[in-house]
Structure 1
Amino acid sequence: MTFDPSHIHFQDLGSKGRYVYAADGKEAEMTFTKIGTSQIIIDHTEVPTSFRGQGVGEGLVLHAVEAARRDSVKIRPLCPFAAAQFRRHPEWQDVLAR
């Protein structure tokens, strides 16, 4: 299987939301909680073993970063994986909540 980031989908769940990548009967997700209209907290990322090492988790976080830029929202990455991605990507600092 080759990871295709165009297969990541957004689900708005009211005060929460998630980005989902599904393939081969498996699902990876990154969940977040909305804090008003100007901030989200990324609270969980889960990637099945079969997807690891393909950029799936990074792709999930990147989708949130791109949406944050588009919507003028800041991100607070409480999830350890998302926080690590923000440390690896200094170009994402513009959407990082301080």
Structure 2
Amino acid sequence: MSDTAYSIRNNETNMQFEIEADGEIASMLYRFYKDSIAFMHTTVPKALEGKGIASALVKGAFAYSQKHHKPVMVYCPFVAEFIKKHPEYQQQLDPGYHKQ
């Protein structure tokens, strides 16, 4: 995994966070549900795999949810695994959806 800082943009039209690198776009699809944000699916093109881009997308998405006071609902398997490795993000999960 790389320590490279990536610029994350929020494509509100397509409801996804995006990172563009090497002419490719990696994305994380999201949806709003009531007062929460749901992280649906993360896609990283093969050419960008192994560069820490998916993790950067997740961190950027959590930063957005925190800034906008949106509890997170996780549907994406990559995000679920990310949270297991980074439990500090558990505090941002929607307690009504993610019962402990």
TM alignment of 1:1-98, pairs within 5 A: 3-5=4-6, 7-13=7-13, 17-36=15-34, 38-98=35-95
Displacement of 1:4 after TM fit? 3.0
TM-score by length of 1: 0.85
TM-score, reference length from structure 2: 0.84
Separation of aligned partners in 1, 2:65 and 2:91: 9
2:92 counterpart letter in structure 1: V
- Give the number of the structure whose residues are more often strand, by fraction: 1
CA RMSD of aligned residues (A): 1.5
- Higher helix residue share: 1
**Number of matched pairs:** 93
Q: 1:55 deviation in Å?
A: 1.0
Structure 2 unaligned regions, length at least 5: 96-100
After TM superposition, what 4+ stretches of structure 1 lie above 6 angstroms from structure 2?
none
Instruction: Give the drift of 1:33.
Output: 0.6
Taking only the aligned residue pairs, the percentage that are identical comes to 27
